[in-house]
Structure 1
Amino acid sequence: MKAPRLIGCDVRTMRNESLEILGNSEAIAVNQDKLGVQGKKVAGGGDGKVWCSPPRHGRVAVVMWNRGSSPASITAKWIDVGLQPSAVVNTHDLWAMSCSCRFVSQHETTSSVRERIHTHACKMYMLTPK
């Protein structure tokens, strides 16, 4: 949900990992965009969930969550996140702050990003059609 960030710990003693997550400017930008429209679940009936923001300026923010107790492969299909099935897409990993062009659609059934997600973890991407 779009909201101000609240920190429920003593910031003087928080781990560096927590500080990096809370200070990730790219993830913050998704949460604090001017539209203020929260994302919605677009796929996943079990432990693997895919949520996305509404498309804006052709770009879509996508989060893939693994709520399960073992690693899982999770797929976000272009059609589910509001992109054209024929789109060639650049992906930007918002946690790693790095770009990739490895997810290039070929056909409606393969137009997707698929990741192996560790238990109780998530991946967050900004998808931008070329």
Structure 2
Amino acid sequence: MDAKLIEKIIIVRDKYFYGPEVFQGIIMVETIKEGTPDFKADHTLDMVQTEPSKVYYSPDYSSAEKKAQLSRIPDYRPQLFWQPELKQNSFEFFTSDLTGIFKIKVEGFQKNGKGISIEKTFKVTE
């Protein structure tokens, strides 16, 4: 298909019902009105199953008991926090034993599809 004819591509990850058929998801290609290609057959392809969401480790020092348990274990993480699917407006993390300047970078999309990028730095001392 000529890419100039494509207006948008929509990925539906949920079950999709088409008449009596049930699909585990679809990729829908919407074309511009003029010059719509003529398809004479169904075009299907096998997709590789995606991996389940990962759970990333982040130590919890929120209580005195937990802090005492973890105080004897050095923490040299250069990356302090990673959660690729952040769905809340705030988050909390604890710094590692490394000192220096760290950067927080949050990127994503708003509900209207507009991209957003926020970047801040902070300093950790002994």
So what's the TM-score if we normalise by structure 1? 0.25
Report which of the two has the higher share of helix. Answer: 1
Rg (Cα) greater in structure: 2
Higher relative contact order (CA 8 A, sep 6+): 1
